[in-house]
Amino acid sequence: MKIDIILTAADIQPEKIKDKIVVIIDVLRATSVMITALANGAKTVYPYKDIESVLENSKKSKSFVLGGERKGLKIEGFDFGNSPLEYTKEAVSGKDMFMTTSNGTRAIENSANGSKKLFIAAFLNVESVAKKILEENDDTVIICSGTDNNFSLDDALCAGEIIRRVKEKDRDIQLTDISLAMKRLAETSLGIEETLKGSKHFEYLKTIGFYGDMNHCFTMDMFDIVPEYKNGVITK
Ligand code: MLT
């Protein structure tokens, strides 16, 4: 079994993920939101690349919320933005959630075809994801969604932390050089926030008033669920 990493949503190529176990990460903040909403009782999360698909497909549900962002901010007419703190039990329990974000939902849609299984990860569920990878015991590709087609340090650090934990449990797992590099990054990290200081999306979210999201997104193992995307929908 081998673990590889794809560093941005733009780098997803069909042959790299064909028949592989795929793990998608968008720490800030799409996958953190999905995990939080499902842990708080949302029935489903339907991720789409565009606003039109969200509006069209939500018509099929009787009880739903619309969530997501453009440039980090709530989309006009939607119920919620992309802060995980909005997705409380009161807000989402028993509901279908229809969502679009700039990078995370795009990475999911781009990986939908060809992968064997597709799981959703963030710091919030790293340990459960590491165990799931070992349980599946098959070649795995971790996809860092990145930001606007660029490398994003928050996703890379999270990928490294997952790999660090997998390797800790089974030393024989093979790593590509990118996987090894991210594992070393996680091993030498002085803490998530300290490592991410100065990184682009982390600093941007602070400037638009979302520093409060960081504490939540950077809490490791708050939840023990590993959401799976299958046939267009994510469930836990
Ligand atoms: C995304 O999918 O691009 C992000 O979740 C953006 C954000 O932080 O809201």
| Cα–ligand 1 centroid distance for 231 (angstroms) | 23
Query: How many Å lie between the centroid of ligand 1 and the Cα of residue 42?
Result: 19
Pocket residue to mutate for ligand 1, from 26, 120, 149, 202, most atoms within 8 A of Cβ: 26
Quote the CA–CA distance of 141 and 151 in Å, as a whole number. Answer: 16
Beta carbon of 81 within 6 Å of any ligand 1 atom? no
Structural tokens at position 41 = 């009782």
Q: For residue range 83-131, list pLDDT tens digits in order.
A: 999 999 999 999 999 999 999 998 998 898 899 999 999 999 999 999 9
- Pairing type for strands 228-230 and 174-175 reads unpaired
Looking at residue 124, the DSSP 8-state letter turns out to be: G
pLDDT by residue for the chain (236 residues), tens only, comes to 999 999 999 999 999 999 999 999 999 999 999 999 999 999 999 999 999 999 999 999 999 999 999 999 999 999 999 999 999 999 999 999 999 999 999 899 889 889 999 999 999 999 999 999 999 999 999 999 999 999 999 999 999 999 999 999 998 999 999 999 999 999 999 999 999 999 999 999 999 999 999 999 999 999 999 999 999 999 99
Any residues with CB less than 8 A from the CB of 76 and at least 6 apart, and which?
Answer: none
Cα 154 to ligand 1 centre (Å): 12
Structure tokens at 176: 């590509």
Distance 21 CA to ligand 1 centre (A): 23
Distance (angstroms) between ligand 1 centre and the Cα of 183 equals: 24
* Beta carbon of 152 within 6 Å of any ligand 1 atom: no
Domain range summary for the chain, segments of one domain joined by + = 2-235
- What b/e readout covers 137-170, taking b as 16+ CB neighbours within 10 angstroms? eeebbbbbbbbeeeebbbbbbbbbbbbbbbbeee
Distance from C-alpha of 143 to C-alpha of 214, rounded to nearest angstrom: 21
